[in-house]
Structure 1
Amino acid sequence: MKLKYILITVCCFFTLTGQADEGMWMLGNLNKQTRKTMKELGLQMSADKLYSPKRPSLKDAVVSFGGFCSGVVVSEDGLVFTNHHCGFSSVQQHSSVEHDYLKDGFVARSREEELPNPELYVRFLLRTEDVTKRVLGAVKPSMNEMERSSAVDSMMLVIGGEVSHKDSTLIGIVDAYYGGNEFWLSVYRDFNDVRLVFAPPSSIGKFGWDTDNWVWPRHTGDFCVFRIYADRNNHPAEYSPENVPYHPEYVAPISLDGYREGSFCMTLGYPGSTERYLSSFGIEEMMNNSNQAQIDVRGVKQAIWKREMDRNDSIRIKYASKYDESSNYWKNSIGTNRAIRKLGILEKKRAMEQELRRWIQQNPEEREKLLQLFTDLELNYKNRREVNRAQAYFIESFLYAPELVQLALKILNFDFEGEEKTVVAGLKDIVEQYSNLDLDIDKEVFTAALKEYRSKVDTTFLPAIYHTIAQEYNGDEKAYVDSLYAHSELTTPRGLKRFLERDTTYQIFDDPAISLGIDMLTMLFDMNMQMQAPTSEIIRGERLLNGAIRRMYASRNFYPDANSTMRLSFGTVAGYTPFDGAEYAYYTTSKGVLEKVKANVGDVDFAVQPEILSLLSSGDFGRYADEKGEMKVCFISNNDITGGNSGSAMFNAKGELLGLAFDGNWEAMSSDILYEPKMQRCIGVDVRYILFIIEKYGKASHLVQELKISD
């Protein structure tokens, strides 16, 4: 019975290699089995229509948006759809109390009104190429893990650099796949002039806020519209009033036909990272260290931010973007740890590893290479456990919590001798951070972080400032923080200005914030050095484990973990059963918006302007209504996504746009580690709702007229 249970569990674990709805597939490496499965599910496009390095294809309409999200090109004049939360920082930067685009939304009535965003870029993938043999050709059998890593990294940089050397408008990046067992070159072209065109009010784009984040049913109109600009030759160019809208290679057509349960659906975008092949030891470390540190420290920090944001509109605008980013990962960590426990992920991983142990024992060639694999992995994770935990809390408490420390470190590490463009952009970033900083809030956050860190780690890992607090401030963290901020010139841009102007009366290394930053970097370096040996062996062990899994299940159709490169996932539109006695439908409608508003009176997460409620209540949805006359808002599919997929295009069988992916679901938050076919869902905003809001609420029919809408 025990063996039978293990085999069933292992088969369940490896549904990732056999289910049509799982996998983040490389477009340039779709094998026959994957293409066949897609056709069987209903795909009506050939593989070369999805990806071709020589002629326009669907991949040419999909972009990496800013390096942290995805987007899709929807007009001949370079309009890009992405998520509202992906454009949130840009909307915030253009907002003020007088022009509150976060609250009221933004519409450019003409090209001249479109707002530039110097920090943004979009990246188009041109082609991919397998360079594994060349990269691993630099590895010698006599090399240890550090030497191997150095040789591999050097060769990756050389191959990538050759692309830009041949064509300065291109960028070559070599990425590792399958734990460093394969390497692929991606060739990109970036466009750096990206302008804000349309943003719905946050009551639409962020409807539900933290309450609904990662939760289904969802009623969030999570979309934003930007435009790509180029020079008059349609080539990449830095921002200039002389630039013109970019004319793309391929424009994604839009479907108003919608979907039904079981409809084919595929998602194209740039998922950030997954750990589907990670050992059980690595999962335990992730749960107890990095995830728990985010949960604890960010929870304390965000409570302070949120309290002040709710009190003051000026603070709300200043802190909106950083709160949004922080809270997203905070809730993700909570959900991930919860799902790992509830779904028995560790037990499933351990069962698979037990089966792998048997296979190694039964194969002499594998036994010779891997006999100590699991013993070594367990030992090395154990050897770095306490330092790794302390480092996770250290980073959250001192590098991500007090912004004064962040600013000090930015200034300390700033490359003033770099290219003019880089220097200017870096200085703008620092000035922008100052403009969105409230010192009283930052002091309270720092004080709280000091207390939280001390309560969570062993005294061995306390920085020297705790001794200073005890000896000079009688153990009063607040008194220490008040003194630090009072004596540092870096609490405002004044100190940076004095430093840049070479003011002889100001020695930046004597500034207490800089001194603290140096102490923090020194301690972080010491922690890394303590973990160096076990970490090196862990990297090696995880790579060997990845390779062993693929050899053991050689007949299965494997896909590599996400690594911020373009990926395709496919499956069907489908509801699910979250728990016994409950059934979740595959879509939501505008009725749900009205119901949530009514049920949550007084809750700012569900506050919606009266004019929006009136519009949704009217029932006048025009051509954007479904066959029942209803306005669909969101829908779900079993497409396999993760962070970075936000803004990814969700296409039907013909390659027509159905909507934009923007979230996963709470019941399957462990999906970065293990795909759960019965539970995992991709939440998307319906393109018809997007167009309805643009046209009917935003009165921006000129934007809709640019689109290629299928009859």
Structure 2
Amino acid sequence: MLLVFLPIYIWADEGMWLPCCLSKQTKQVMKDMGLNLTPRQLYNPGGAALSNAVVSFGGFCSGVVVSPDGLVFTNHHCGFDAIRQHSTVKHDYLRNGFVADSLSDELPNPDLFVSFLVRTEDVTERILQALPQDVTEDNRSLIVDSLSTLIADEAVKNDTLLRAVVSSFYAGNEYYLSVYKDYYDVRLVYAPPSSVGKFGGDTDNWVWPRHTGDFSVFRIYADTHNEPAAYSKDNVPYHPDYYAPISLAGYKEGSFCMTMGYPGTTSRYLSSYGVEERMNADNMARIDVRAIKQAIWKDAMEKSDAVRIKYASKYAQSANYWKNSIGMNQSIKKLNIIGKKRRLEHQLTEWIHRKPEERNKYAGILTELEDSYRNRYKNARAMAYFGECFANGPELVTAAWSVLNFDFEAEKSVLEERVRQLLELYANIDLDIDKKVFVAMLKEYAAVVEPESLSETYATIEKKFKGDYQAYVDDLYSHTELDTPRGFERVVKKDSTYVLFEDPAISFVIDMLVKSYELSAAADDDNMKIEKNERLLNEAVREMESDKDFYPDANSTMRFSFGMIGGYSPKDALEYTYYTTIKGIFDKIREYKGDSDFEVIPSVIDLLENRDFGRYAAEDGNMNVCFISDNDITGGNSGSGMFNGNGELIGLAFDGNWEAMSSDIIYEPNLQRCIGVDIRYVLYMIEKYGKSTRLINELKLVE
């Protein structure tokens, strides 16, 4: 029966906890489960601690520093775009892998940075005290934003190398300041072949059992004072004040396991009505639209290595959360998540009725949430499809939007970086593919939304092109100057013969912006009511269960989770063990013969067949590849270190499991698992495949 109220009753291994703010209850649970470190060894602003070795990698993944010279371990899929950018048909690092034989061979990545957390501070009281008693929701947002900016600016005013952010927690009931130091010179050091780092591809994504060597290696560089600096040949390896030791002892079922990283977003306290909208609007738009776009991309990628390299990263990023959305919707239905939410909300309603002092504050919030979500559903669904079809659709639209919003008044360094990013975008567009995507997106959007959600472009297509989407797209691409960088160059040179706002690509973007604004504005009132009542719902649930130990939803701030290594039973009569070995790689190669997701290059097969595992072998002499624990995980956790009770690295988290894809909404303790790559397999591939003993020698290995 406890499963009905999972958002209230927090299980020992559930939660994404703030390192700064552990309760006595949580500390004791961790100790009882097997953690041998003190709280100050986990998080200690101004001193050495395990959290100092954990980085936000690029703002979208996590990583862990593992050497005194700034080596960072993260996932292969986190480093995938950087690996792709350095790849060519001649030097195909995606297919064959990459190893730098010396510091001078390590490859810079202008778009990458890592962030170290300096400190976290609770600023809730300062912000909430500034809010007038009867403030409207829109004014509340303005005040919170203004005060958050002021607090962040104050925190870094004496140190220009720091960055500060105030983030909302518990749906806006609490606020915390996080101060970071960012390093911008991050170089690629090692990447396994994709047939290791991406083994299983889309087929195995979010699935256990897994056999993916999902890792890559980078190095942080700094100036001669060990401070952040833009890329320079004069920079030197960064020297951290703490780096993670690595265990070669492995793990057993029931072993303590802790992850530390930067999980992106969860919605554990979201109302049942919010879950319904997410299913039927956001997730369905992602499922429907990306399936169409990815099919076009994949067909072209399979016909050309040059296209494959151009589109590999885009395809992987798109497919990742496409499959996630499919699994989430299936899990929400199968596990009756909405029913569980409704029962919780019924319990809350009864509690409110029993508490006269709470009636004025909380009475009606669920009714208003139901009404507001219902009122905005049509526009929310249209906006979701709009975003997937156009904002996240044809790359010509992305390029045109970038040119339209280009800030020519920015500082020189910022200007140069944005020009570089724009040219990089153009370098990776195939116009024939993009036209196919454009036509498909126009058709799909028109097919799924109400007529009033269509922009003026559709009237033009009907009138001028007799409803022929292909004819419209062909005409647009033949007349725009923005299908290549030449249009941007004409703007830069102030070419008087070129009027940017008359370019058909810009006209399309502006038309889309107008319609987007109309759709958004139509839902403004309901948006404000939803924001307010979701916040009150969050507050009410925590008040009702004030004796419980709550954790906030993930919001890209540093968190850790703790749990145990162990298998699970996804359904009757089926039991999954807690680790996989290289035997499963060969089994899948045979089972999926001819499937590109399971193709392994001969040099890797030869290595694995040789079975020279050395000190990286498990106790039984085999090579473990992946393992699972019941740690809490979501997007952004990819690359998080998985640590034993002594704070030694035993793996890198890279995925959740299919049966618990609704975990962003409710944690299911019997089903949810965190999938990690065994650190011994990582080291084996570095030393035996990459023959890079120089990297192994940097590490602190605990035998």
Structure 1 counterpart of 2:497, one-letter code:
T
Structure 2 counterpart of 1:106: 98
The answer to whether the 8 A contact 1:268-1:568 is kept is: yes
Q: Do residues 14 (structure 1) and 12 (structure 2) align?
A: no
Aligned to 2:700, the other structure's residue is in SS state: coil
Residues 350-401 of structure 1: CA deviation (Å, up to 9, x unaligned) = 0000000000011011111111111111111111110110111011111111
Q: Do residues 529 (structure 1) and 524 (structure 2) align?
A: no
**Cα shift at 1:14:** 3.0
C-alpha distance in 1, partners of 2:318/2:60? 14
C-alpha distance in 2, partners of 1:661/1:39? 22
Structure 2 counterpart of 1:603: 595
Structure 2 counterpart of 1:348, one-letter code:
K
Residue 652 (structure 2) aligned to one of 660, 684, 699: 660
Q: Do residues 332 (structure 1) and 329 (structure 2) align?
A: no
Structure 2 counterpart of 1:205: 197
Residues 600-643 of structure 1: CA deviation (Å, up to 9, x unaligned) = 11111000011211111122100000000000000000000100
Structure 2 counterpart of 1:358, one-letter code:
E
Residue 422 (structure 1) aligned to one of 403, 414, 435: 414
Structure 1 counterpart of 2:343: 351
**Cα shift at 1:286:** 0.4
**Cα shift at 1:710:** 1.0
C-alpha distance in 1, partners of 2:180/2:466? 57
Structure 1 counterpart of 2:380: 388
Residue 606 (structure 2) aligned to one of 597, 614, 634: 614
**Cα shift at 1:12:** 4.4
C-alpha distance in 2, partners of 1:10/1:667? 18
Q: Do residues 138 (structure 1) and 130 (structure 2) align?
A: yes
Aligned to 1:311, the other structure's residue is in SS state: coil
The residue correspondences of 1:107-186 to structure 2 (distance < 5 A) are 107-186=99-178
**Cα shift at 1:143:** 1.3
Aligned to 2:8, the other structure's residue is in SS state: helix
**Cα shift at 1:347:** 0.2
The answer to whether the 8 A contact 2:7-2:269 is kept is: no
Structure 2 counterpart of 1:231, one-letter code:
D
Structure 2 counterpart of 1:673: 665
Structure 2 counterpart of 1:628: 620
Structure 2 counterpart of 1:337, one-letter code:
N
Residues 291-326 of structure 1: CA deviation (Å, up to 9, x unaligned) = 000000000000000000011000000000111100
**Cα shift at 1:163:** 2.1
Structure 1 counterpart of 2:279: 287
Structure 2 counterpart of 1:3: none
Structure 2 counterpart of 1:452: 444
Structure 2 counterpart of 1:300, one-letter code:
I
* Gap runs ≥5 in structure 1: 1-6
C-alpha distance in 1, partners of 2:680/2:564? 19
Residue 434 (structure 1) aligned to one of 422, 426, 430: 426
Structure 2 counterpart of 1:703: 695
Structure 2 counterpart of 1:271: 263
TM-score under structure 2 length normalisation: 0.99
The answer to whether the 8 A contact 1:9-1:352 is kept is: no
**Cα shift at 1:172:** 1.1
Structure 2 counterpart of 1:689: 681
Structure 1 counterpart of 2:561: 569
The residue correspondences of 1:224-373 to structure 2 (distance < 5 A) are 224-373=216-365
Structure 2 counterpart of 1:193: 185
The answer to whether the 8 A contact 1:13-1:348 is kept is: no
Residues 673-705 of structure 1: CA deviation (Å, up to 9, x unaligned) = 000000000000000000000000011111000
Structure 1 counterpart of 2:667, one-letter code:
Y
C-alpha distance in 2, partners of 1:274/1:96? 37
Q: Do residues 644 (structure 1) and 636 (structure 2) align?
A: yes
**Cα shift at 1:253:** 0.1
The answer to whether the 8 A contact 2:565-2:629 is kept is: yes
Structure 2 counterpart of 1:139, one-letter code:
L
Q: 1:308 to 1:238 in 2, by over 3 A?
A: same
The answer to whether the 8 A contact 1:193-1:229 is kept is: yes
The answer to whether the 8 A contact 2:114-2:184 is kept is: yes
Structure 1 counterpart of 2:178, one-letter code:
S
Residues 94-130 of structure 1: CA deviation (Å, up to 9, x unaligned) = 1111111111111000100000001110000011111
Residues 508-553 of structure 1: CA deviation (Å, up to 9, x unaligned) = 1110000110111111111111111100110000000000000000
Q: Do residues 541 (structure 1) and 533 (structure 2) align?
A: yes
Residues 396-425 of structure 1: CA deviation (Å, up to 9, x unaligned) = 111111111111111111111112222211
Structure 2 counterpart of 1:14, one-letter code:
I
The residue correspondences of 1:495-510 to structure 2 (distance < 5 A) are 495-510=487-502
Q: 1:121 to 1:12 in 2, by over 3 A?
A: closer
Residues 179-233 of structure 1: CA deviation (Å, up to 9, x unaligned) = 1101111111000000000000000000000000000000000000000000001
C-alpha distance in 2, partners of 1:169/1:8? 48
Residues 255-305 of structure 1: CA deviation (Å, up to 9, x unaligned) = 000000000000000000100000000000000001000000000000000
Structure 2 counterpart of 1:588: 580
The answer to whether the 8 A contact 1:9-1:351 is kept is: no
Structure 1 counterpart of 2:30, one-letter code:
M
C-alpha distance in 2, partners of 1:710/1:71? 20
**Cα shift at 1:136:** 1.2
Q: Do residues 60 (structure 1) and 49 (structure 2) align?
A: no
**Cα shift at 1:9:** 5.1
C-alpha distance in 2, partners of 1:370/1:604? 55
C-alpha distance in 2, partners of 1:490/1:9? 54
The answer to whether the 8 A contact 1:139-1:151 is kept is: yes
The residue correspondences of 1:548-559 to structure 2 (distance < 5 A) are 548-559=540-551
Aligned to 2:186, the other structure's residue is in SS state: strand
Number of residues paired by the alignment?
703
The answer to whether the 8 A contact 2:6-2:666 is kept is: no
TM-score under structure 1 length normalisation: 0.98
Residue 473 (structure 2) aligned to one of 461, 481, 484: 481
**Cα shift at 1:11:** 3.8
C-alpha distance in 1, partners of 2:465/2:616? 64
The answer to whether the 8 A contact 2:454-2:515 is kept is: no
Structure 2 counterpart of 1:249, one-letter code:
D
Q: 1:224 to 1:164 in 2, by over 3 A?
A: same
C-alpha distance in 1, partners of 2:591/2:378? 46
The answer to whether the 8 A contact 2:8-2:541 is kept is: no
Structure 2 counterpart of 1:175, one-letter code:
S
Q: Do residues 37 (structure 1) and 49 (structure 2) align?
A: no
C-alpha distance in 2, partners of 1:421/1:273? 32
Which consecutive aligned stretches of 4+ in structure 1 deviate over 4 angstroms post-superposition? none
* Gap runs ≥5 in structure 2: none
The answer to whether the 8 A contact 1:60-1:125 is kept is: yes
Structure 1 counterpart of 2:367: 375
C-alpha distance in 2, partners of 1:343/1:14? 17
Structure 2 counterpart of 1:710, one-letter code:
V
